[in-house]
Chains A and B, each alone.
Chain A
Amino acid sequence: MALDAFQKRRERQTLLLLLPALIPLVILTIYPALYAIYLSMTNEALTGLAAAKPRFVGAANYFRLFSDGRFWNALFVTFVFVVGSAIIGQFVLGFISAVALRRKVIGSPIFGAAILLPNAAPEVVAGFMWISMLAGGDHATLSKIMMALGLPWTDWLQTFPLFMVVMVNTWRGIGTAMILLTAGLSAVPSEVYEAARMDGANPRQIFTRITLPLMAPTIFLYMLISTVSTISVFGLVYALTRGGPGNKTEVISVYIYNQSFTAFQIGYGAAGAVVALLVSLTLGIAYVRSLKVEV
């Protein structure tokens, strides 16, 4: 009986301790998400009759969404963007940087700082900066380099738009990947490496049989964070291309923005946002469950 009372008091205390975190979570995350689900079942708009008198339309927005080729294109572009920039680009280069920085070589602090620098630039500023590098014409940085080499200039954002967007996002995210993976590398006990070396393991074996397995929880935690955060990247892509040319770089976040705030269809845009939320949630749960990572 006394134990029950003690447990109940502990539960109340725990709840009280969680409240400062729970209240903003409910107000700023859960309520807006539920409201977005409600909006997605209306024809709410920013202008026109639907702005004054929105109607409940049930699942009509979802039927429309799934029959919209542009939505499927946005999902495909998002897939390429996430795999290309977060999973391949940022991870591989971030991991190489983390490993390189562990070695005490001359200039490694400068190298580390240089990799972290892109994080200091706000998304939109970074986007405009890259436009000045990649745009066509005589004045863009890359065009000048090409012309100095006797080659014709190219408008890289028009010719290879998705590749360029992937590259810029990779550039911007290497620093974060490097920090997380450096923390993971530091957590691997040095005794394990020493034991492996004494047993005659070569560097490749050490990497594949010690470093990678022991880093797995960190790597997959990074994958979870970077996948979900890359799905929601908006400012960088919008500043660079606004989703164009055509819809070639229209990732899901830009698609949602375009439907909600360019075509002014808030309800329809909300349906896209709900689907994006479900995709992110599914991926997150899949990561956590399949790899039994403690988050």
Chain B
Amino acid sequence: MNRFVAGGLAAIAMSLLAGTAHAQTLRIALHGQAGIDAFTPTAQRIEETLGVDVEIVEYPAPDKDYMTKLLTELAAGNGPDLFSIPSAAEVADMVAAGYLAPVGAELAAWEPYKDFVDVARDLAVSPDGETYVMPYILGIQQIYFRRDLLEKAGISTEQPKSWADLLARAKEIKEKTGAYGLLFPAGTSWGGGAFDEGFSHLLIGSSAPQIVTEDGKFDLSSKGVLDVFQFYKDLIDADLMPVDPLLGPEPWVIPKYEMFPSGELAATTCGSWCYIFDWGRESRNPIPNVTEVVGTWADPGQESGEFVLANLGAPWAVNAKSANLELAKKALLETGSIENQIETATRIGNIPSSNAVQSDPRFQALTELVPIQAAANNGTYLKQATGMSVVSEGVARATEALLRKETDAAGAQQILIDHVRQTLGDEALK
């Protein structure tokens, strides 16, 4: 009997010892199944390196729902220790809300950060001059077009020189192939994509390429902004852009995953991930020989110029109220590792921020991404400011009104201005 009792006590003691081996638990929030899959090896490395348990809060849902859950938890004070932020436009506002811990000192002291491209490091700096995020991957965006369709129809595949040239090309596509000529994400259902993956492409080439002024206010009443909305209206009125799918609950599914691969849509804005996740090796509906069949154009400027849009791809951040703040900051550095950058690039197709990947054979195998990474520093980006997420939502509402043909370009601009004014107050506007 005594032996049984002693054996039982020994078993309890051993299990307690095993439990204390990983005494602390880091809660890490992730979104999208592909992101979760890509991050799993990094989670294991964090456990091994830091001697902690990692609990991944899996939330394979659209970005919008993920942000709702994340912000609600952060506001309630029970957010995860470490999390990724799907839209870079949210970062400045999360900083203003006090949700993100500053990590500038840790990044400055972290040797591998010196290999990060300037664009990534610049984008990571918040309007207050501090860095709050790990900019481990970039979204390098352009216009992707079906080279095979255009060549077959005898349509030029040369880089469009201006917005007028781009619009004319879209019209020619529609006339000669019957396919929709061009897609810019728009409407409220697309969430931050209407701004990050649509509006920004045109804005950077407009006569007012930045909407944030020197004193951190928003200049939304410029002719440049009006012209961007006019471009949307021209596309919609001429039936060059698929409108109905954009009004549905998951607006990217039909145009990106069905219409483009089937040739019903001939050109769309997209990032390097389109070569991997949307239509490449990780796609459920891949386009064979995607890099040959699908070509890219830089975003043409309104009158001239060529722009490649750069933004942060789902940067990592630490919860300012984390009970394990120091551990979480150490784990943040692990999210910026070369391994995580390459694993994410392999699964999703974003561009690693570190130039060190160029000498890594695992990255060299991603032939679609190698030249894009090498040119990442040429990317153009929008200056950020507190209230950017409100502007992003305002753009979504304004473009939704255009999609529904409820307003003209001036009306759309007014919707944007009114939304920002009503939400942030007059003082936020120039």
Hey, which bits of chain A sit against chain B, CB under 8 A? 43, 45-49, 51-52, 64, 157-158, 241-242, 244-246, 258, 261-265, 268
Contacts and interface: CB of A to CB of B under 8 A. Distances in A.
B247 A52 contact: no
Nearest to A57: B425
7 smallest CB-CB distances across A and B, nearest first, come from A245-B247, A51-B97, A48-B93, A46-B71, A242-B249, A47-B93, A261-B68
A246 B93 contact: no
A52 B244 contact: no
With most chain A CB atoms within 10 A of its CB, the pick from B189, B248, B387 is B248
Contacts of A52: 96-98
A281 to B, nearest CB: 27
Given A46-B71, A242-B189, A264-B71, A51 B247 contact: no
Interface string B79-102: 000000000001001101111000
B72 A47 contact: no
B424 A262 contact: no
Interface in B349-396: 386-387, 389-390, 393
A70 to B, nearest CB: 8
Contacts of A64: 422
Given A51-B98, A246-B400, A263-B393, 10 more contacts: A43-B423, A46-B72, A47-B71, A47-B389, A241-B249, A242-B249, A245-B248, A246-B404, A261-B68, A268-B423
Contacts of A244: 189, 247-249
Contacts of B393: 262-263
A137 to B, nearest CB: 8
26 contacts: A43-B423, A45-B97, A46-B97, A47-B71, A47-B90, A47-B96, A48-B96, A48-B387, A48-B390, A49-B93, A49-B424, A51-B75, A51-B98, A52-B96, A64-B422, A242-B189, A244-B249, A245-B247, A246-B403, A261-B68, A261-B72, A262-B191, A262-B393, A263-B423, A264-B71, A265-B423
Interface in B246-291: 247-249
Contacts of B424: 48-49
Nearest to B404: A246
A262 B400 contact: no
B45 interface: no
B217 interface: no
Nearest to A64: B422
Interface in B390-430: 390, 393, 400, 403-404, 422-424
Contact of A262 (B64, B248, B404, B423): B64
Contacts of A47: 71, 90, 93-94, 96-97, 99, 389
**What DSSP secondary structure best describes chain A's contact surface?**
loop
A48 B390 CA distance: 9
Given A46-B75, A52-B96, A246-B404, A158 B248 contact: yes
A280 B147 CA distance: 57
Contacts, number: 73
B241 to A, nearest CB: 15
A33 to B, nearest CB: 20
Contacts of A46: 68, 71-72, 75, 97
A35 B189 CA distance: 30
Interface residues of B, number: 30
Nearest to A239: B249
Interface string B31-67: 0000000000000000000000000000000001000
A168 B71 CA distance: 32
Given A51-B97, A261-B68, A262-B64, A158 B244 contact: yes
Contacts of A258: 188
A48 B386 contact: yes
B389 A48 contact: yes
B101 to A, nearest CB: 14
A264 B247 contact: no
A6 to B, nearest CB: 50
A245 B75 contact: no
B36 to A, nearest CB: 21
B11 to A, nearest CB: 41
A245 B403 CA distance: 11
With most chain B CB atoms within 10 A of its CB, the pick from A45, A47, A244 is A47
With most chain B CB atoms within 10 A of its CB, the pick from A43, A48, A241 is A48
A64 B424 CA distance: 13
B386 A49 contact: yes
B96 A245 contact: no
B244 A245 contact: yes
Contacts of A49: 93, 96-97, 386-387, 424
Contacts of B98: 51-52
Contacts of B249: 241-242, 244
A245 B248 CA distance: 5
A43 B99 CA distance: 18
Given A47-B71, A47-B90, A245-B244, A264 B400 contact: no
A52 B77 CA distance: 12
A64 B422 CA distance: 8
A64 B420 CA distance: 12
Contacts of A242: 189, 249
A231 B404 CA distance: 26
A46 B389 CA distance: 11
A272 to B, nearest CB: 14
Contacts of A264: 68, 71, 389
A241 B71 CA distance: 23
With most chain A CB atoms within 10 A of its CB, the pick from B90, B249, B393 is B249
A48 B97 contact: yes
A262 B111 CA distance: 38
A262 B64 CA distance: 7
Contacts of A157: 248
Interface string B9-37: 00000000000000000000000000000
A51 B97 CA distance: 5
Contacts of A262: 64, 68, 188, 191, 393
A43 B390 CA distance: 13
A258 B389 CA distance: 15
Interface in B69-127: 71-72, 75, 90, 93-94, 96-99
